[in-house]
Amino acid sequence: MRHQDQVAEIHKLLSHLEARTTAMADSAYRNPLATISAHSRPSLERETFFRRGPIVIGLGRLLPIRGDYMTYDYTGSANTAG
């Protein structure tokens, strides 16, 4: 993910924290069982949830210097940069 996209996501998150809001949907979505039991489902979910956009999560102690950031690829490689 590009650094500018990471920064944009962080700004959205901080905005929600300041306003005490969330990005939750207005209502629950019910997913049919046939959808989640398909053999192709794991690869589709990996692509949708882990490849198309950022997942903002991490421990602050892993990045002690202001401005540093970390990316993680769920295929197993982690990278830090400053």
Kindly report the pTM of this predicted structure: 0.36
Residue, of 56 and 82, whose pLDDT is higher: 56
d(Cα 18, Cα 12) in Å, to the nearest integer? 10
What pLDDT does residue 19 have? 92
Distances (CA, A) of 23 to 43, 57, 73: 25, 15, 24
Asked whether the predicted pLDDT for residue 5 surpasses 70, the reply is: yes
Q: Which of 18, 10, 3 is nearest to 82 (CA)?
A: 3
The winner for highest mean pLDDT among 12-21, 32-41, 48-57 is 12-21
pLDDT at 78: 52
Read off φ and ψ for residue 74, nearest 5 degrees.
-65, 0
Q: What is the pLDDT of residue 15?
A: 93
